[in-house]
Amino acid sequence: MLLDIRLPKMDGMEVLRKARKYDENMMVIMITAVRDMQTAVEAMKLGAYDYISKLFDASELRVLVSKALEKRNLIKENIFLHSEIARISEYDELITRSPQMKFLIKLIGKAAASNGAVLIYGESGTGKELVAREIHARSSRGNKPFVAINCAGIPDNLLESELFGHEAGAYTGAMERRQGKFELADGGTIFLDEIGSMSLHLQSKLLRVLQEKGDGSKEIERLGSSRTISVDVRVISATNMDLKKLIENGKFREDLYYRLNVLPVNVPPLRDRIKDIKPLIDYFLEKINRNMAGHITGFDKKAMEVLTAYSWPGNIRELKNLVEREVSLKQEGKVSVTDLPVEILINRARKNGYDDSMVSSRVHMEKKLIEKALLETRGNQVKASRLLGIHRNTMRAKIRQMKIKNHEIPPGPGAADMERV
């Protein structure tokens, strides 16, 4: 805002106060006569960006306005960083050994070259946000903000405010104006994760936003305001649901689906890209060993056979959690089959022809052995692990998995019975 100090009816100082109340991040440049210099200094104390005295040169004004806009952008980026500081990607790289992932990389390149809406399909934990970030990074918007929001993780009454912002007093508890994700992403990309969870009410509002103007920009309205704000944002969305079935059931708008699905991208589940399991494990091991001061050198051959045969319902997120668990519990050496979680071993047993009763018997026997070892050692887990010949961290993990509690172990026989078992 270029604001003269001397105005009819209301002076510039009062306008400045109202303008700053309306938008505390507004850059206000005061225009003043030489005799009003002291007033200009007072205006800067009230939040004005700078002042310029009459009669000014046009080039001088251009420089001042340019600097003001630069500061405005820095403030905007700072707000964005603070709002996104808790968001950390599941992993940092796309591992591309399998043919499926090599095809995906090519698709990402094509999507990055376009400015159209992208809809990413994939099961939970496959890395849909990573794909969205990669599309953004390779696009012409790569040096602008990437703002992500999980539509399933925020209550519907708050999601609208998160997306579009709100004015002070728009609802109970809205004490001040707040920019929404669309404003924070201006010039860049907004990522709408789990779009299938969005209510029909918000789908309708989002559809209106996606109806672009002639210049390609979009218009939003903050909650509690009737004023439209123009933003230049690319929309990338993702879902682990079948949106076509949701449309058939009346839970997703067909017109919104076609707005979002301009460029569809499918992320394959981990079970369909077995060649990537080993390099992913190596990548996670290197990173997690460093962060946790671990010294795990890898997984032995038999353990890798079990892992490549596993279905990975939690996909890459589950694999990363497994590696983190092994580094935390074992700390050093190679991970063997006996170190793997019970659920993965049960899956292996079923594939090898053991029925549920046999698997259950094996787990039951293992639990009894641990209970007896704890009884013999009076609850000392370190001594019990030595007695059973397993690592103490493995012992602790199995106690948690099997929900064994020392104080619940019934009194029983001593060392002689333990030896018989």
**Residue 103 backbone class (left: φ over 0; alpha: ψ -120 to 50; beta: rest):** alpha
The residues, ordered by sequence, that sit 6+ positions from 390 with a Cβ below 8 Å of its Cβ are 338
Q: Which two tokens stand for residue 62?
A: 């251009």
Structure tokens at 52: 């310029």
- Higher-pLDDT residue of 357 and 157 is 157
Higher confidence at residue 76 or residue 118? 118
pLDDT in tens, 226-262: 888 999 999 999 999 999 999 999 999 999 999 999 9
Domain annotation covers residue 80:
no
Residue 4: what are its φ and ψ, rounded to 5°?
A: -75, 140
Distances (CA, A) of 180 to 80, 121, 376, 387: 10, 25, 61, 59
Confidence tier at 312 by pLDDT (50, 70, 90): very high
- Compare 358 and 224 and report the one with higher pLDDT: 224
Q: Which of 233, 268, 303 delimits the end of a domain?
A: 268
The pLDDT of residue 351 is 60
- pLDDT, one tens digit per residue, over 253-300 is 999 999 999 999 999 999 999 999 999 999 999 999 988 888 999 999
Residues 180 and 264 occupy one common structural domain:
yes
Q: Are residues 246 and 311 in the same domain?
A: no
For residues 414 and 296, membership in a common domain is answered with yes
pLDDT on residue 417: 42
In a domain, 86, yes or no: no
Chain-centroid distance of CA 127 in Å reads 10
User: What average pLDDT does this structure show over 385-412?
Assistant: 69
- Flag the least confident range among 25-29, 142-146, 396-400: 396-400
Both 50 and 137 in a single domain? no
Q: Is the same domain home to 142 and 199?
A: yes
Q: Which percentage of the chain shows pLDDT scores above 70?
A: 87
List the CATH number of the domain containing 357: 1.10.8.60
| pLDDT of residue 51 exceeding 80 | yes
Count the Cβ atoms, other than its own, within 10 Å of residue 291: 10
pLDDT at residue 414, rounded to an integer? 42
In this prediction, residues 392-414 reach a mean pLDDT of 66
- pLDDT, mean of residues 199-216: 87
Task: Give me the domain span that covers residue 258.
Answer: 99-268
Residues 44 and 158 in one domain: no
Which amino acid would we find at residue 227? Answer: R
Q: What count of residues does the chain have?
A: 421
Whole-number Cα distances in Å, 321 to 88, 93, 294, 312: 15, 16, 15, 12
Q: Give me the residues paired with residue 2 across strands.
A: 29
123 confidence band (pLDDT: 50, 70, 90): very high
pLDDT at 85: 46
Domain presence at residue 162: yes
Residue that wins the pLDDT comparison between 139 and 354: 139
Average pLDDT over residues 357-371: 68
On the question of pLDDT at 418 being above 70, the answer is no
Same domain? For 175 and 36 the reply is: no
Mean of pLDDT values over 356-371: 67
Please give the pLDDT value at position 177. Answer: 80
Same domain membership, residue 287 and residue 222: no
Are 147 and 256 part of one and the same domain? Answer: yes
Q: What is the mean pLDDT of the chain?
A: 83
Residues 297 and 177 in one domain: no
In a domain, 32, yes or no: yes
Q: Would you call 227 exposed, middle or buried from its count of C-beta atoms within 10 A (0-12, 13-18, 19+)?
A: exposed
The strand pairing partners of 50, in sequence order, are 29
Residue 161 lies in a domain: yes
27 contacts: CB under 8 Å, gap ≥ 6: 1, 49, 68, 69, 71, 72
Residue 68 lies in a domain: yes
Q: Is 232 helix (H, G, I), strand (E, B) or coil?
A: coil
Mean pLDDT of all residues in 306-319: 91
Quote the number of domains for the chain.
Answer: 3
The answer to whether residue 173 scores a pLDDT higher than 90 is: no
- The domain boundary, picked from 58, 73, 88, lies at 73
Q: Name the residue among 117, 4, 132 with its Cα closest to residue 56.
A: 4
**Domain C-terminal end among 211, 239, 268:** 268
pLDDT (0 to 100) of residue 197: 94
The residues facing 149 across adjacent strands are 192
Nearest one of 233, 227, 209, 232 to 219, comparing CA atoms: 209
**Are 411 and 378 contained in the same domain?**
yes
pLDDT band for 339, please (50, 70, 90 cuts).
Answer: confident
- For residue 323, tell me if it sits in a domain: yes
Whether residue 130 lies inside any domain: the answer is yes
Alpha helices in 296-408 (DSSP H): 301-309, 315-330, 342-351, 356-376, 381-388, 392-401
Tell me the C-alpha distance between 100 and 105, whole Å.
9
Cα angle: 233, vertex 225, 209; to 5 degrees: 30
One domain for residues 23 and 55: yes
| pLDDT-wise least confident of 57-61, 129-133, 187-191 | 57-61
Tell me, what CATH number does 65's domain have? 3.40.50.2300
- Cα maximum dimension of the chain: 103
